[in-house]
Structure 1
Amino acid sequence: MLSWKLPRLLTINQVPRVFREQGILFGYRPPKCSAADCILSVFQLTNETVNIWTHFLPTWYFLWKLLALFYALDFWNDMYVWPFLAYMVTCCIYPLASSCAHTFSTMSTRARHVCYFFDYGALSLYSLGKSLQAFFLHLNIYFLLTYHTIVTNRLGFPYLHYNNDILERFPEVERPKFSKALRTLAFAYPYLYDSIPVFYRLHLHTGKSCTEEVIPIHYRHTVFAFLTCFIFATHLPERLAPGRFDYIGHSHQLFHVCGIIGTHFQMEAIIMDMTERHDRLLVSLPALSFSQTAGSLMICMVLSLSIIGVFSVTLYSMPKFSKREKNT
């Protein structure tokens, strides 16, 4: 029977180590909440509440943008907008998966890992979506990488990103610094790879009078992307003042906000580039087929779900993990 009584919040010393966050001392939800308690907690001020809403609300904004563009663009007949459609779908998926992961991560220690497995799978899809769109829009005769190299690698990097993310969760308690370094690397290198065409284009405009209106938007997206990585890696500001930013203003909340703003600028830049370069792409490049866009996403999704299944079964069948969970 659904209970409307909100769970009592705990301190950092009252929860297992896997739930503890550096510099966050108060506001933890009980580590064995029911699904109903997790849902009700989104309306209670905890150290996860802002994390949940900063990704849940943008999900509907991106969905609204997708529906508006679906009616404005000819997705059925214009194959050159298919990569953008794939990208927009992943923009809706990754914040929703993150919001759900933060919501239900306190059901148990194992559930916490599985929730973030799905979170990382969604990030893998987003990495693939933006790589399809970025390389297709920015390819030109000056770019050093060939089209065939891009098509070959567009699945590889998101897959490695996702696999590394899952692997780093297992040494999270025993080697937190090593785990954090792996996680940061897993976020950083797909972004750097996907952004090579953008960096090359920005380099061409350095020191020159630029007439393209989209270039400042690319700069804004790049700034917020690096802010996102910096905040995630440094745990600022709560690292400098533990306990002061437990509920509002800690690094993971800022990480979410910067990531969403960066995605917004990235989306706006892609829309402008797609409009401006459409006729040029019609002449210079073959359109990506349905299998190269939606097919790639489906393959990546199947791989992700398969990995989630394997690691989840492994997680729930580890006697050592079960004993450690009972002790904590």
Structure 2
Amino acid sequence: MLSLIKLPRVFTINQVPKVFHEDSIISGYRHPRSSATDCVLSLFQLTNETLNIWTHFLPSWYFLWKLVTVVLMQSAWQDSFTWPLVVFLVSCCIYPLASSCAHTFSTMSVRARHICFFFDYGGLSLYSLGSAIVFSAYVFPDKWVNSVFHRCYIPVAALNTLICTSLACYSRLGLPFLQYNRDIVKRFPEYQSPKFSKTVRIVAFTFPYLFDNIPLFYRVFLCVREGCTDNDTNILHYNHIALAFLTGFLFATHLPERLAPGSFDYIGHSHQLFHVCGILGTHFQMKAIEQDMLTRRPWLLTHSIPITFANSVGVALLCVVLNLAIIIMHCLPLFSAPVCLQKKHNKVQRKAHPGEAPAAKSPAS
């Protein structure tokens, strides 16, 4: 069937606008003014985004299956002790699905690219909050349970989630309330200083991760004697931590493609490996959380902070609403200067002669 369908053409780095460039990726780029149909068809051809999409799209269904299993088999809505796990699993479904959609439709236009990745960042920050909620419920070491830090932990994690989304969106477009002039595109941080933009994003997602994992790091690396919750689950936590740091390393370094530009354009570049390590880390994290939840339940029900709607589902819903507000605020400048966006970035013509760099084209949106 697919042999009867004409798949979209792919381009080299010199044939697409700078905003679409990926570090050390030379070929396999899709048309920067692709239609939604072209974006979907590109899932079934080899481009530099194909594996980025599938490595997150398929796992989102795995986490959805886990979520449905918990809700149906563990009667989650009748047992408040499982609410944090439900919130976490929902976030595990959202972040890979948002990422796969972002990578799929980001080549429809410059505007679409920014908006798609805004939602990707929002999904990641909600996953960070989901992790904090389950850590608070099931993972805190015994000696920290009900401490002042434990009681402040979720409110601070919620604040970090909003800061994370704001910083990540800022890294692309700057402050949303500024009045941009005709050179709006040139004022975007990602256009002016790509390295600065990347650094801001790394900081935006590293800080919430480090904060969320303070109780886990203390439990598995620093705690000694009684109250350390030293059990078999710690092996799974070690796996999760190792994969999380490998994920961050790949995102920050652009290895291995930086060592051999053009050699890993389609298979094996850092973003693909970043996706795979991130999903594997989330899998081990989920397994560890489930095991802690089962083995520690009697003790936690007696000694820990009671799990309520407010400190589990409620705070997650509130952060969803606030994250959407942040994303909308950052989207507004994109719609305030459509002509400028078109002139600066739409330089690939949909029909080009083989071997020629496509020329500028008047866009439709």
What TM-score bracket applies, with the shorter chain setting the length? Answer: over 0.9
**1:175 aligns to what?**
193
Deviations 1:178-234 (A, max 9, x none): 111111111111110110110010124679999621111111100000000000000
**2:154 aligns to what?**
151
How far apart, CA to CA, are the structure 1 residues paired with 2:273 and 2:341? 32
1:162 is matched with which residue: 157, 160, 165? 165
How far apart, CA to CA, are the structure 1 residues paired with 2:153 and 2:203? 21
The one-letter code matched in structure 1 to 2:196 is F
1:279 is matched with which residue: 286, 298, 314? 298
Retained in 2: the 8 A contact 1:79–1:287? no
Aligned residues: 326
How far apart, CA to CA, are the structure 1 residues paired with 2:76 and 2:114? 37
Deviations 1:102-160 (A, max 9, x none): 00000001100000011111112111111111122233552265333113213100110
Residues 314-323 or 107-116, more deviating: 314-323
Residues 326 and 56 (structure 1), Cα distance of their counterparts in 2 relative to 1, 3 Å cut: closer
**1:203 aligns to what?**
221
- Taking the TM superposition and a 5 Å limit, the aligned residue runs for 1:169-318 are 169-170=172-173, 171-204=189-222, 212-318=231-337
The one-letter code matched in structure 2 to 1:165 is A
Retained in 2: the 8 A contact 1:135–1:194? no
The one-letter code matched in structure 2 to 1:109 is V
Unaligned runs of 5+ in 1: none
Structure of larger gyration radius: 2
Report the identity percentage.
Answer: 51
Task: Give the TM-score normalised by the residue count of structure 2.
Answer: 0.85
DSSP 3-state at the match of 2:66: helix
Residues 276 and 154 (structure 1), Cα distance of their counterparts in 2 relative to 1, 3 Å cut: same
DSSP 3-state at the match of 1:146: helix
Deviation at 1:89, TM superposition (A): 0.6
Deviations 1:252-279 (A, max 9, x none): 0000000000000000000000001100
DSSP 3-state at the match of 1:27: strand
- Taking the TM superposition and a 5 Å limit, the aligned residue runs for 1:27-176 are 27-140=28-141, 142-143=143-144, 145-170=148-173, 171-176=189-194
Deviations 1:54-107 (A, max 9, x none): 000001111111122223323122211111110011101110010000000000
Task: Give the TM-score normalised by the residue count of structure 1.
Answer: 0.94
Could you say what the CA RMSD is over the residues aligned between the two structures, in angstroms?
2.1
How far apart, CA to CA, are the structure 2 residues paired with 1:116 and 1:280? 42
